[in-house]
Amino acid sequence: MTPALEISGLSLDDRDGRPLVRKFDLLLAPGERLVVAGPVEATSGILRAAMGLDAPAAGTVRLLGRDAATLPREEAEALFARIGYSPRVGALLSNLPLRDNLLLPLRYHRRLGSAEVPEAALRAADRFGLGELPAAIPPIASVLTRRRVILARAILLDPVLLVVDDPTEDLDAGAADEIADRLGKAAGALGAAVLAASNDFRVGAALGARTLLLASTATA
Amino acid sequence: MDSAAYAVRISAIIGYALHALTVARGRMRPVVRAVLYRQILFTGVQAIPFTALLAGLVAVIVVVQARLGGGVAEGVGRLLVVAIVRELGPLVVGTIVVARSCSAIAAELGNMRVGREVDSLVAMGVDPFEYLVLPRLTGVAVAVMCLTVVFVTVSLGAGAGLTALLAERTGAGEILRLVGENLQPLDHLVVLAKTLVPGLLMAAISCHEGLSASRSVTAVPPAVTAAVVRSLSAVFLWDALVTALVYVA
């Protein structure tokens, strides 16, 4: 069976050329759940490299058995439509209402008009506690509301792989509990493979995931 | 920066956009059309009052200068065509759009890149070129053409009215008739060339500068400055080129 994610010999450097990750290997089977813990820059870097957003210093990444960097545009779009990604930074378009942010992948990939709000969107929103699709723009919404929208959008297209970067970051304990719990239930309902980066034990517990702890590469 | 390489990059953006609009992608997705409509609203519709104001003021300047030069009604009619339709209309509208919209596009896209919002689009399988660049290119080009029509209409109307006020025996209708007589079929093509191409150029330059900003908030203001300076240079250069080719050659 094709792995959901296969990372081989991944090496990442930070902007100043200092090593973040060296020779990192990972094989994530379909439906498997894994939390990577450790230095935030390194764990976040691994997820960004996995999504093809940062070029690694070395190594290869195969998403659902395919190297996204070598795919034609249409095939790459179709591949990413099968993956839900919730980044730490820049998840939402700041000039677009949260409702439109949430619906964007659905509208783009299914060519929906702006008046259409499919049942799938309401279902995804409901899974993360959004009773209605919020109309506020991201900068004036609460961290919790933004997080609900980001995660609801990540599961909107029924992904087979969820890549979630620090889903409880900046949340208070109660909100973090709730988000972790909802994420675990949503991943369970989807049956998707999950790769999460988090140092919050609640995320791993809620996902029922094994945890991989990265050793720090920082040098004195 | 190597100017030739830069020109090639901008041409490639425009060429790719035209190819995408006409051949490659078929109908624009509704979600992309929504961005296009917002761009036309911001760049075109919301700029109409300011454009009309400048059109009226330019008409005053042209007519007063023509009168000071001792111009008769025939001369004023010809001057309105030469100055406003052929030259000032496209140039002033180009300047308005660069100042209002191209700076905004470069700032918006620069901030999106710095804030990694563009990465999020890629990760969702949303092509940033199709979602961000294509509707802005199309919207700005359409808006520049339409605003130029507004500018020329208001300016000629105001110019004719003012001339009629200043000249005792000439009515506004007579001035407009003289304007019509001096307008050549070629002028329509010239106006099209001086609006469509600069519209595409300024939008492509602004998108390029915004999306090329390095990942630091301090990179956004220089990107906006570069977008404005290069867009204005492109507008004036293209205008001079078309004028030289059409009316001198």
Interface size A-B, in CB pairs within 8 Å, comes to: 77
Does residue B19 carry a pLDDT above 50?
yes
Contact A89 B111 (CB under 8 A): no
Contacts of B125 in chain A (CB under 8 A): 76-81, 105, 108-109
Contacts of B24 in chain A (CB under 8 A): none
**What is the separation of C-alpha B26 from the centre of its chain, rounded to a whole number of angstroms?**
26
C-alpha distance from B123 to closest chain A C-alpha (Å): 6
Does residue B221 carry a pLDDT above 90?
yes
Contact A105 B124 (CB under 8 A): yes
Q: pLDDT confidence of B1, banded at 50, 70, 90?
A: low
B131 touches chain A (CB under 8 A): yes
Instruction: Find the mean pLDDT for residues B9-31.
Output: 88
In terms of C-beta density within 10 A (0-12 exposed, 13-18 middle, 19 or more buried), how is residue B187 classed?
Answer: middle
Q: How far apart are CA A167 and CA A160, in angstroms?
A: 18
Residue A197 near residue A43 (C-beta atoms within 8 A): yes
Q: How far apart are CA B166 and CA B158, in angstroms?
A: 12
Contacts of A80 in chain B (CB under 8 A): 122-125
**Which residue reads 């509990």 in tokens?**
A177
Sheet containing strand A83-86, edge to edge, reads A83-86, A161-165, A193-197, A33-37, A210-213
Q: What angle do CA A144, A148, A150 make, to 5 degrees?
A: 115
- Cβ neighbours of residue B171 under 8 Å, at least 6 residues apart? B164
Contacts of A94 in chain B (CB under 8 A): 111-112, 115, 117
Instruction: Identify the pLDDT of residue B71.
Output: 62
Residue B105, SS3? helix
What is the ipTM score, two decimals? 0.91
Chain B interface mutation, best of A108, A146, A153, highest count of B Cβ atoms under 10 Å: A108
Question: Which residues is A26 bridged to in the sheet?
Answer: A7
Q: Dihedral sign, CA of A120, A95, B133, B47? A: positive
Q: What angle do CA B243, B246, B247 make, to 5 degrees?
A: 75
Q: How far apart are CA B234 and CA B243, in angstroms?
A: 14
Residue A39, SS3? coil
Strand A161-165 versus strand A83-86 pairing type: parallel
Instruction: Identify the pLDDT of residue B160.
Output: 86
Instruction: Find the mean pLDDT for residues B12-24.
Output: 89
Q: How far apart are CA B137 and CA B143, in angstroms?
A: 10
Does residue B114 carry a pLDDT above 60?
yes
Window B:38-57, CB contacts with A under 8 Å: none
Backbone angles phi, psi at A203, to 5 degrees: -65, -50
Please tell me which residue of chain B has the smallest CA distance to A47: B123
Per-residue tokens: A27: 């094989």
Contact A90 B123 (CB under 8 A): no
End-to-end CA distance of chain B: 32
B44-74 pLDDT tens trace: 999 999 999 999 999 999 888 887 766 666 6
In terms of C-beta density within 10 A (0-12 exposed, 13-18 middle, 19 or more buried), how is residue A78 classed?
Answer: middle
B248 touches chain A (CB under 8 A): no
C-alpha distance from A95 to closest chain B C-alpha (Å): 9
> How far apart, in Å, are the Cα atoms of B179 and each of B54, B148, B153, B187, B242?
20, 17, 11, 12, 21
End-to-end CA distance of chain A: 43
Q: pLDDT confidence of B79, banded at 50, 70, 90?
A: confident
Contact B123 A53 (CB under 8 A): yes
Residue A214 near residue A36 (C-beta atoms within 8 A): yes
Backbone angles phi, psi at B202, to 5 degrees: -65, -35
Q: pLDDT confidence of B174, banded at 50, 70, 90?
A: confident
> Containing H/E element for B63?
helix B48-68
List of chain A residues with pLDDT < 50: 218-220
What percentage of chain B has pLDDT greater than the value 90?
A: 69
B70 touches chain A (CB under 8 A): no
Q: How far apart are CA A156 and CA A149, in angstroms?
A: 10
B26 touches chain A (CB under 8 A): no
Contact A80 B29 (CB under 8 A): no
Backbone angles phi, psi at B175, to 5 degrees: -65, -45
A185-195 pLDDT tens trace: 999 999 999 99
Contacts of A81 in chain B (CB under 8 A): 124-125
Does residue B202 carry a pLDDT above 60?
yes
Q: Which of B30, B124, B127 sits opposite A112 (nearest CB)?
A: B30
Tell me the pLDDT of chain B averaged across its residues.
91
Residue A115 near residue A103 (C-beta atoms within 8 A): no
- Cβ neighbours of residue B238 under 8 Å, at least 6 residues apart? B194, B197, B198, B201
Per-residue tokens: A125: 């929103």
